[in-house]
Structure 1
Amino acid sequence: MDREDRLSHLVDYIIAQGTVHVEEVMEKFAVSGPTARRDLDALAEQQLVERTRGGARSNPTSADLPLRLRTSRRWHEKSAIARKVASLVEPGSVIAFNGGTTTTAAAYEVGVRAAADQSFAGAETTVVTNAVNIANDLIVRPQLRIVVVGGVARARSYELIGPLTGLILPEITIDTLFLGVTAVDTSRGLFTTHEGEASVNAALVAAARRTVVLADATKFATTAFARICPLDAVDAVIVDDGIGDGDARAVHDAGIELIRA
């Protein structure tokens, strides 16, 4: 387990336990005392936990941490998905991203490609998003026009949600939506953790000519609270090579293109 993964697991472990001691971290994560202390110090510096004598405890708001403060898991898989997304974007098209770690990585890669690829210089490529962090990352790219969907900002994901989003989405057309999800249930559809996010994501799907789901393989082995849409409402899924044969077959059987990153 690399340091990024360890820190991500560690902050979740502290949230679950409430309080941990250095010796407990050493045993749980198979690290030395100095490494355990450095990890706890790093999380405390980011205000993810509160340092205590001999350990750390969770903050009152630790369970609802902003996206930028949570270390992304499965970063290599998500980076591969992000690079695949960037390769699929047509200069001059209208694309969209909702919020999330994978879509944030994908939007970054699109920005990098737009800056380096001369075909973007003469075309106005539009990016629609309800994620303020993605808009902030891409606004510095003159090759891209950024359209931010209105709403109320949700701290955990930086997504704008609420009825204000309904004022713009029915009035626009998106060529390709790159949709991040929390869970993929091959029989019931796509899910996220919050009903407000699910509502906006469903509106983005309705506004898009083509919807491409971005999901690392672990998303097929979990569940979430709020359904975005049925699986057959999307056109393609980009996933890493860790997807199981049964899940891959279910995607194919639904008539959805499976793209391996």
Structure 2
Amino acid sequence: MGRQERLKAILTTLRQYGQIGINDICKSFDISVITARRDLDILESQGLVERTRGGAVLKTITGDSPFFKNLDIRKDEKQCIAKKVVEFFKNGQTIAVGGGTTVYYVIKALESSSIHSLNIATNSITTAWAVINLSKTFNLIHSGGVVRHGSFECVGGYASKLFENLYFDCYVLGASGVGLGSGVTVADFEERNLAELIIQKSKTVILTVDSTKINQVAPYKICNIEKVNVLVTDNGIDQEQARKFRSIGINVIIA
């Protein structure tokens, strides 16, 4: 088994049990203590685990992480996800787009796509900045509002007012966690309220999360998982988990 496959297997165990020991890793994969420690060092550097004495635990979600700190974490996976998401867009559509690093890469992926005509509404400063910096010209609608430091998303009455008066062909959002029982969850209450509103105004809801967010739970629930039409994630997702999502009617796309 190669290192990447082993890292995915370690993460699967962590999601199931919450913690793992160095000795457990050595026995499960027939590797040395030094190699096991290096594996956990890699996962820690990616922001996925917290090291403990003799092992590691799955990193918990306590609030927003700074946007730019997360931009390069699992960048390849996020870019692959982004390319798959753009395939759902059609010229002339009006789309709502949230914030977060995966969504940022969705906008960047428009550059090399065949899409040249969109109305893009967002409450995110970083998403808006990504749209502005494309060589293509799209109709950008920004909500304004109170800026959340860390996520750079705008919330409050001004932001809500814009989305109350628009309807969308699709809504692309990220999340801090997603699960069959817990639904779609985020770390900020007001961002949760705005996302719930936009879902109500959208024909298709596309959730973009890398596989580390599967079975994670953040404090505030946006909606039940059944509200999601399309889930786009990377190949780190457990196949049984993907099957369960599909069994309730979600179109699961693995990048």
Same fold (TM over 0.5): yes
Deviations 1:181-228 (Å, cap 9, x if unpaired)? 110011131001111111111112111110010011111132111001
- Which aligned pairs between 1:204-215 and structure 2 lie closer than 5 A? 204-215=198-209
- Measure the CA separation in 2 of the matches of 1:155 and 1:225: 18
**1:221 partner SS:** coil
Residues 1:158 and 2:152 aligned together? yes
Q: Percent identity?
A: 25
The residue aligned with 2:112 is 113
The residue aligned with 2:184 is 190
For 1:230, which of 220, 224, 236 is the aligned residue? 224
The residue aligned with 2:54 is none
Contact 1:133 1:158 in 2 (8 A): yes
Contact 2:95 2:168 in 1 (8 A): yes
Contact 2:122 2:143 in 1 (8 A): yes
Q: CA deviation at 1:72?
A: 3.0
- Measure the CA separation in 2 of the matches of 1:72 and 1:254: 33
Letter in 1 for 2:202: A
Q: Which segments of 5 or more consecutive residues in structure 1 lack a partner in the other structure?
A: 2-28, 31-62
- Which aligned pairs between 1:60-209 and structure 2 lie closer than 5 A? 66-110=66-110, 112-113=111-112, 117=114, 120=116, 124-141=117-134, 142-209=136-203
Which has the bigger relative contact order, CA under 8 A and spacing at least 6? 2
- Measure the CA separation in 2 of the matches of 1:194 and 1:129: 17
- Measure the CA separation in 2 of the matches of 1:87 and 1:253: 23
Contact 1:181 1:191 in 2 (8 A): yes
Which segment is superposed worse, 129-138 or 142-151?
142-151
Letter in 2 for 1:109: A
Residues 67, 199 of structure 1: alpha-carbon distance in 2 compared, 3 angstrom cutoff: same
Q: Which structure has the larger Rg?
A: 1
Count of matched residue positions in the alignment of Structure 1 and Structure 2:
197
Contact 2:98 2:174 in 1 (8 A): yes
**1:209 partner SS:** strand
- Measure the CA separation in 2 of the matches of 1:239 and 1:64: 20
Contact 1:65 1:155 in 2 (8 A): no
- Give the root-mean-square deviation of aligned CA atoms: 2.3
Letter in 1 for 2:93: S
Residues 134, 71 of structure 1: alpha-carbon distance in 2 compared, 3 angstrom cutoff: closer
Residues 71, 239 of structure 1: alpha-carbon distance in 2 compared, 3 angstrom cutoff: closer
Q: CA deviation at 1:177?
A: 0.8
- Measure the CA separation in 2 of the matches of 1:248 and 1:200: 27
Contact 2:64 2:188 in 1 (8 A): no
Q: CA deviation at 1:69?
A: 4.1
- Which protein has the bigger helix share? 1
Output the TM-score relative to the length of structure 1: 0.69
- Measure the CA separation in 1 of the matches of 2:210 and 2:236: 8
